[in-house]
Amino acid sequence: MALDRWIALAFIALCCIYGYAAFFTMDGELPPILQRNPVWPSTFPKILTVMGIVVGLIVLFTKKAPADGGAPKDGVIDLTRLGDYHVGQALGLLVLMVAYALTLRPLGFVGSTVCFLVLGAIILGERRFHILIPVAVIAAGSIWYLVQEVLGIFLRPWPGMFM
């Protein structure tokens, strides 16, 4: 079985686990007054589960065009040449994502998001810092403003700000 089908199978398994949580465990402790609402906290996870399983099944059962024996086509991963790909950048971004999640509380949302965007762009090869830093600051500030002020969800922007 090809690599993309193995990944699709793992994705379907992950969607099934997520779906079990969405369909059977998320709404168990809702108060009776909220159980009559048409939209529950688990509505969006249920939609994501169904869509993820459908997409995974499409990838799993779609028949590929027969290979003509030539060089691999664009987009096909050649596992024998894995060193030619940017694996270091991908691993660097994964480590950066974990660090971002761990620094959200100590640095606050704006600080950790700006650091994540700047460092992620540097890992990917961006060197125009006069553009990169203002864009990261504006993006992080805009997202914080939308979540905090428009949606009304408290999101600590800086370290040491408690409510």
Q: Provide mean pLDDT across the span 7-30.
A: 87
Q: Provide mean pLDDT across the span 98-123.
A: 92
Instruction: Identify the pLDDT of residue 163.
Output: 47
Q: What is the DSSP letter of 151?
A: S
The pLDDT tens digits for 133-143 are 999 999 999 99
Angle, helices 87-124/129-145, rounded to nearest 10 degrees? 90
Using the structure block, give the residue that is written with the tokens 């779609």: 62
The pLDDT tens digits for 29-46 are 777 777 777 777 778 888
Q: Provide mean pLDDT across the span 74-95.
A: 78
The pLDDT tens digits for 43-61 are 888 899 999 999 999 988 8
Alpha helices in the chain, H assignment, sequence order: 3-20, 43-61, 87-124, 129-145
What's the pTM value of the predicted model, to 2 decimals? 0.56
Top-confidence residue, 23 or 98: 98
